[in-house]
Amino acid sequence: MNKYELAVVVNAQIDDEARAAVVENCKNLITRFGGVVGDVDDWGKKKLAYEIQKMDEAYYYFIRFEAEGTAIADIEGRMRIMDNVIRYLCVKQDEA
């Protein structure tokens, strides 16, 4: 299993419960495809570099996890259609 980090940019115009549900859905998605979720970093509300969908602020979350390489395509496919997720990026961590 490889180590990955999933960066998730969440809509800032939703309430705290809905935002927590989005993060929980991301974690459930990882475990559904055989991944093991590590820690979750909450960076809070940040200003976006440019306006996305008429929003200039969003919440940033970084989820570290381990999974097989084949699961990443499935995870990203589901992230693409997830509500209230503005952007996401999944990167493989170095073994160093």
CATH code (residue 31) = 3.30.70.60
Beta strands (DSSP E) in the chain are: 2-11, 36-52, 55-67, 85-92
User: pLDDT below 50 — which residues of the chain?
Assistant: none
| pTM of the predicted structure, to 2 decimals | 0.88
Are residues 94 and 31 in contact, defined by beta-carbon separation less than 8 angstroms? no
Quote the crossing angle between the two packed helices 16-32 and 71-80, to the nearest 10°: 150
> Which residue range forms the structural domain that includes residue 34?
2-92
What was the pLDDT predicted at 94?
82
Determine the residue type at 62. F
Question: How many structural domains compose the chain?
Answer: 1
**Residue 96: its pLDDT value, please?**
61
pLDDT computed for residue 50 by the predictor: 92
Give pLDDT tens digits for 42-58.
999 999 999 988 999 99
| pLDDT score of 95 | 73
